[in-house]
Every structure is written in C-alpha cells, then in structure tokens.
Amino acid sequence: MIILKKRDLLISFLLLVATAVNAQERVTIELTKGWKFSKGINEKAFENNFKDSKWESVTVPHDWAIYGPFDKEIDKQSTAIVQNGEKVATEKTGRTGALPYIGEAWYRNQFSVPNFDKNKKVILLFEGAMSEPKVFVNGQKVGEWNYGYNYFYFDITNFINSNGNNSLAVHLSNLGSSSRWYPGAGLYRKVKLIVKNKESIDQWGTFITTPIVSDNLAKVNIKTKVTGENLCIITKINDATGNEVAVDKTDAIFGNEFEQNIAVNNPHLWSPESPYLYTAVSQIYVDDILKDEITTRFGIRTIKYEANKGFSLNGKVRKLKGVCLHHDLGPIGTAINKAALRRQLTILKDMGCDAIRSSHNMPSLEQLELCDEMGFMFLAESFDEWAKPKVKNGYNRFFETDAEKDIVNLVHATRNHPCIVMWSSGNEVPDQWGSEGVKRAKWLQDIFHREDPSRLVTVGMDQVKATMESGFGALMDIPGLNYRLPLYEEAFKKFPQGFILGSETASTVSSRGIYKFPVVKVHSKQYPDFQSSSYDLEYCNWSNVPDDDFVLQDDKPWVIGEFVWTGFDYLGEPTPYDEMWPSRSSYFGINDLAGLPKDRFYLYRSRWNNNDKTLHILPHWNWEGREGETTPVFVYTNYDSAELFVNGKSMGIQRKNNSTPQNRYRLMWMDVKYKPGTIKVVAFDKDGKAVAEESIRTAEKPCQIKLEADRSSLEANGEDLAFVTVSVVDKKGNPCPTATNQLQFSVSGNGRYRAACNGDATSLELFHLPTMKLFSGKLVVLVQSTQETGKIALKVSGRGLKEATMLLYSN
C-alpha cells in the first residue's frame, strides 16, 4: 500500500489527464503503510517463496526492538572501552540499551507505479535501514548497502512489472557486538519511490552554494547533473514568501552538468537568529517540453574559519554553542518522527543552543530540514570507526570497501542544507595512532573536499598526544578535541590551524531530581541506587564538569565553540553504571530520556540564552529525615548576584567570582541546613536592585495529577505527536518532587496512546505499555494522532490520586 503526499496526489491527477507529449512531472511516493514484518527468518527463506499472511502489519518508519523487553543478556559485551581509559575487559550489560535489536528480519510490501512506460525511470530510495539491507523487487535482488546510517537508492526501472503490480522485500541483519550504543533496528527511516522521465535531474544532482555574499548582492552558484540529450534548464529562485526574485536559463552543458551563477539582490541571510530560506525551482526541458522539475531549499550565508580569530558566520565571529545528539528518540526508539525531533530542537533553542553534532552517525534528512527552519548550525558526522575496530562487528568490516561511497552519499544527499557548517569524518577512531591513520584521515578529508569544496572537515580526537606526534591533528581542517582540557594550550601551539574546536565536551553525569550528599566534585562516583547526583559536579575519569569548558570558551578566542556530550539522554552507554544491572540508558544528557530538563539545563541556559532571564534553584526541598543536616543550595542564573532565604531568614548574598570555575558560573550556598518550609532566592541587577525571585516549597503528600502538553493541536496524519508532561502535586498545588506513584494512561477519540517515559535510566518498564511509575515526580506521555480529525482525550490515573483528563485536537 502506498501513501502519497498532498502535492504528489495533485501531481498524479495531473499526470492522468495530461497528454503523453506533456507528461512531465515526477511523482514521489512514500511507502508508509501496508508493510509486513517478521523477525527471525534468514535470508535464504526468500528463495522458498515464503508466505507473509501471518506476519505483523507495521508502518514504516519502524524500529522493531524498541518494544523490548529489556534483558541484560542481550548483547552482553566483555570489553575494555579504550576511549574511557579502560585496560581490563569487564562485562557490559546495558551498553546497547539491553533491547532486542540483534537478529535477521524481513519487510515486505506491494506497490504500483503510476503511468509507468518505457520513457519512465523508477528510483527506490532508502533514507536509512538498520542494517546491512538487501533489497529485492519482484523476486530479484536489486542491490545491497552495508552502512545502516546512510541514505542509498537503486534504479529499479528494469525490475518493474508492466502490469503495475510489484513486490518489494528487504532483508536486514543486525549482529551482536556491532555498536557502542542502541542502534535501533529495522526500516527506521523513510522509504520512497521516485517516478520520473528518463530525461531528468539525477538523484541528489543539484548542488547550491553561495560563494559571494554582500548586503546588496549574493552570487548563487547552482550545479545540476542531468541525464538526457538536447536539454536546457530554467532555474527560478523564490524568496520565503514564494515570490520570484531571480531566474536563469541556459542550454550550455558540460558533460552531464549545467552550471548557473544567479544574482540575488538584497539577500536575506541565513543564521540561527534569522533562518531565512530561499527555494530554487529547477526545470529541465527538451524542445520546450518540460521533462522534470525539482525544488530545493537553500540559505544564503557565508562561513569562515581563521587563525587566532575563529569561526565566523556572515562575517561575524561567534562561538558554537552546541550539543551532541545520538539518533534515538527515547521512548519511540530510532523510528524517525518529525514531531519528536521538533520538540527536541525547541527545548534546545530555549536553552540557547545554536548547533548540533550528529553523533556518531549520518543525520536524518528530517533533522537537517528542521535545523534549516529553526536555526541550528550543524556538524554532520559520518563514522564512529574506520579500519581499526572499537567493537568486533562494527563499521571496520566495511571501511576499506565502503567508506568512499558512504561519504559521497552523505554529502550529495545533504549538502544543500545551509545549517551544515562542517563535516566530521570520524570520532575517537583508534586509527589516530600511527602513519596508516594519518593516511586514512587525509584520504577521507580529500573525498569530502572533492565532493564539497565549500566546507571544512574535522575529526573528534581523544588521543591528542598521539595526533600531535603523528601529524594527524595538523592535517585536519579543523582540529577537534574530545575533552583533554589540559592539552588545549599545547595543541593550539603545535597545530598550525590557529584554532581549536571542542568537538565533545563535559560528559557530566546526573539523574533528574536526584541529589547526593555530601556535595563534592568527584569523578566516577557510584551509588547503590545506580543514580548520579544532579548537583552537576560528577563526571567521568576522562571528562569534566561544564564550568571547566566554560572557562576555555570564554577566555580563549582561538577556541571556536563546543559540542556538549549530550543534549539528551539516549539508550545505551549507561556510564558510570555500564557494568551494573539494571542500567540501560545514559546519564550524560542535559535533558533526560523523556526530554525533561535536568538542573544542568539551566546552567547552560544561564550562559547561552542571551534573550531570556534564567533563575533556577536546586535541590528540591523535600528532605524528610535530613532536618538540621547540611543541604547546599545552588542557583543557576544569568544575574551576577542573589540572596537566599530559608523560611524568611537570609542566608546571605552570593556573587559570581573567579576563585574557582564553579564560583564563576554558579551561585552556591554550601552551609545551608535543611528545614521544611520555603527557600527563596532574590536576584539583583548590576546596580544592586532586586529584579527577580524564585521559590521552592516543601510539598505535602501527593494528592492530584497535573498535565501539561507541549502542544494542543495535532496534524491528522497518523504520525504527529503531543508530549504531555505528567506530574503530581499536593493539595495546595505544590509539586511533589519525590513522588514515585504508578500511573495508568488511556487515550480515546481520534488519537492513540504511543508511549511513556520517566527518564529513569534504571527503569525496565516498557515504553509502549500504558502504565509507568513517576520518577522524581514526573514522566511524559506521548499521544499520537490518527488520520481522522476531531477531539483526543488523554486520561491519567493512579491509586489515591485525583485523576486528570486533557483534551487535544486533531486537525
């Protein structure tokens, strides 16, 4: 079964009524519904013409493993994590999320090709398939691709049945010990059919750059690769409102490529603060007959990296305020969902973040589209491994044969996105040692330069001493340092580029709403409950706390920015508890797995968000049994000073100072004794005037449920999501920060329950079941639209609590 976008439905109708001589439009068909799925059937089963009538019916994108169960025996790896400084192998039980991603599986579907004839070409496009997909059309193998994170396509014109009925089958295979985090499983990104004339623009054949930009004029260079003879091209450029601002026509073709330089007057420049997008409409003609047309969004902007000056966008020097993101979306796994991505970026935007690093994989096209629209610069990464392995069955198996074609597809599929400001060819690769690694680094960088001369290339280097000695770091366009703060100065002196990027920073660990005593700065700390303290002073033996990076970013003009590990918690890599069970997701996130902000969110917000004021107090103030004990109070704020009150009594005024990195960026009252009641902080401006205040009150026992949605209106497309934060308050409306009640969820009307998540890295409750315990007083419920318009009702209940209902709307 096929689902056509609204525009494509219109195109299909026009094609039906058009005469043969005017048949001109391409049709893009998303293969979303009608899929049959079965796990545990090996590749040879296809030869036996197996039946799929009893297979599970699914929609694509689909992640078969996210439904669990969590099991510590899944992909239990005995290994020493070299990047973490480990020398002795130990058992890692939750490294890949303890979810059942390992195994073989088949997906099958039926499709038809509208108006197929000998003059048509049919492309089958996969935006990601985990992993090692082998693709069959009408029983014949059309191709395969090894890298699960890449986009790839096949020309299946010669495999299409003329009667219109076609079968598609995809075999996937995930090996154990093939990842360092939860990779997901299945057709987790979109699958599309593209039907076009043989005289047409090649797949990803358009390349748009803006090499010259001024306030009055921009030169837009457009290269377009085509197939066919006697062609000419007309390219129109439209502004964000759809008005045509420039047009060019040419029949001058070099080989199979047109090149046009088009002037745009008084251009609007793309930036995180003003993400203005233009549209190029490219039309291919033969003898004045339109044969093909594609639309490409792009931005007009300039990027530059200069010694001792750093990074500039549109001529203005700035520092990258970035985060690293793994590709899973928490409780819905790796199955791509634009609403979930948009929510992540909305949260990061409020924090003041302006850059994303796809870690350590090629980004989804939807993520790049949203970064274009919402204003995020992007570091697009390619590989976590080169030829030398980190895990036995990782990308090292394919590097020598596949790396070049994987980079080519990455660049060609994504290079028109203005958000991308640099490429990364690798992350903490063991090839950093020795001359062979230097040769590989240069080879990869040269491929990026060949395919896209407009951007520079980096590598996330953790073996900085080795890269200083071998020349590895010196040859990179952008030397990226993962941690290793004591080596920044030495690296800056030895590397010739004249700047350093914090390609991965901090790796502070914390659990939302969990606080440990005494409050001390410490690495690799473990506790019996497998949680980490949200005082934001705990980190790994190879990393640091945020303030240590802030000092370098603020004091060294040659440090061009940072990408914090990580913006959100992710499935797998539960450091510092990766040798303990249950523990199945990370603690590194500034936001937890449910997308709820940890205290650290406000520390970054106080420094990064220049438009809004931040005033945040921690910890919570429900400490029954700790009466009279020392309970430090921290305040994260962009005000320089504040006064703390406990039950109306002043604890004194604290001012930011340079005595330690923590005192420079936090206000801290270390000797506060706990007394139930109210703590209040009053912030002062630079003139000493009280300008803002915030309070926390000790809550009584949980009484009622509170619901807050990120949005009330959903699109009736069967994919849209609302994220509803569920919390418990006492009879006076005060949040209950230690509540752990078991809650139940039900959705009625024109929507359905999708998942829930509480952000607890030790929870083994399954996301898709309609019940879950609160963690630190909160969780998030995901409500999904159907394809019908109308009301959606979410009801949340729990024993001894007043239930709550929320109305949403599907339009």
What's the confidence (pLDDT) of residue 48?
A: 57
The reported pLDDT for the residue numbered 20 is 35
Task: Output DSSP code: residue 214.
Answer: -
166, 181, 197 - which closes a domain: 197
- How far CA 4 is from CA of 23, 28, 193, 196, 251, in Å, comes to 19, 7, 10, 15, 33
In a domain, 387, yes or no: yes
Residue 662: CATH number of its domain: 2.60.40.10
pLDDT digits (tens, 9 = 90+) for 573-604: 999 999 999 999 999 999 999 999 999 999 99
> Of 385, 504, 562, 719, which is the active-site residue?
504
Residue 578, in any domain of the structure: no
Answer yes or no: 693 catalytic: no
pLDDT band at 242 (very low <50, low <70, confident <90, very high): very high
Instruction: Please tell me whether residues 168 and 121 are part of one structural domain.
Output: yes
3-state secondary structure 512-547: CCCCCCCCCCEECCCCCCCCCCCCCCEECCCCCCHH
- Residue 257 located in a structural domain: no
Residue among 132, 158, 118 nearest 42 (CA): 132
Task: Tell whether 566 and 437 lie within a shared domain.
Answer: yes
Does the pLDDT at position 235 exceed 50?
yes
> Is 388 inside a domain boundary?
yes
Name the catalytic one among 199, 293, 381, 428. Answer: 428
Q: What would the mean pLDDT of 206-214 be, rounded to a whole number?
A: 98
Structure tokens at 365: 């096209």
Query: Are 444 and 548 found together in one domain?
Result: yes
Domain count, the chain: 4
Neighbours of 792 (CB within 10 A): 25
pLDDT band for position 4 (50/70/90)? very low
Contact 635, 667 (CB under 8 A): yes
Q: What is the pLDDT of residues 163-208, one digit of tens each?
A: 879 999 999 999 999 999 999 999 999 999 999 999 999 999 999 9
Asked whether residue 493 is domain-assigned, the answer is yes
What's the confidence (pLDDT) of residue 12?
38
Give dist(CA 1, CA 22) in Å, integer.
Answer: 28
Tell me the whole-structure pTM to 2 decimals.
0.95
Average pLDDT of the residues of the chain: 95
Q: Own/partner pairs for 524-532, CB < 8 Å, 24+ apart?
A: 524/576, 525/576, 526/576, 526/577, 526/580, 529/762, 530/577, 530/580, 530/582, 530/583, 530/761, 530/762, 531/761, 531/762, 532/576, 532/587
- Percent pLDDT > 90 in the chain is 91
Q: Is residue 252 part of a domain?
A: no
Q: Are residues 564 and 638 in the same domain?
A: no
Domain finish residue from 671, 697, 723: 697
657 in the same domain as 726 = no
> Would the pLDDT of 5 be above 50?
no
Question: Which tokens is 656 given?
Answer: 């930011």
Q: Per-residue pLDDT for 24 more than 60?
A: no
**Above 50 in pLDDT, residue 22?**
no
On the question of pLDDT at 134 being above 80, the answer is: yes
Q: Are residues 677 and 723 in the same domain?
A: no
Count the neighbouring beta carbons within 10 Å of the beta carbon of residue 766: 16
Amino acid 635: pLDDT: 98
795 within domain boundaries: yes
Q: What is the pLDDT of residue 323?
A: 98
Specify whether 315 is located in the same domain as 169. Answer: no
CATH code of residue 327? 3.20.20.80
Strand order in the sheet with 253-254: 200-213, 217-227, 257-265, 253-254
646 and 709 in a single domain? The answer is: no
Whether residues 33 and 99 share a domain: the answer is yes
Sheet holding 303-306: strands in order across? 303-306, 310-313, 316-317
**Closest among 349, 190, 347, 334 to 723, alpha carbons compared:** 347
**Domain CATH for 155:** 2.60.120.260
Both 475 and 363 in one domain: the answer is yes
Q: How far is CA 716 from CA 189, 331, 432, 784, 809, in A?
A: 20, 21, 50, 9, 9
Is it the case that residue 406 has pLDDT exceeding 80? yes
pLDDT of residue 426: 98
Which comes out higher in pLDDT, residue 88 or 571? 571
| 311 and 164 co-located in one domain | no
**Closest listed residue to residue 323, CA positions, set 617, 599, 566, 30:** 566
Q: Are residues 675 and 712 in the same domain?
A: no
Full domain range(s) for residue 98: 3-197
pLDDT digits (tens, 9 = 90+) for 522-569: 999 999 999 999 999 999 999 999 999 999 999 999 999 999 999 999
Residue count of the chain, please give it: 811
Q: What does the pLDDT average to over 645-656?
A: 98
- Output Rg (C-alpha) for the chain, integer angstroms: 27
Whether the predicted pLDDT of 18 surpasses 70: no
Position 639 confidence tier, pLDDT thresholds 50, 70, 90: very high
The answer to whether the beta carbons of residues 587 and 576 sit under 8 Å apart is: yes
Domain end: 697, 726, 761, which one? 697
Active site residue 504: yes
Query: How would you classify the pairing of strands 751-757 and 790-798?
Result: unpaired
* pLDDT score, position 295: 98
Average pLDDT over residues 302-315: 96
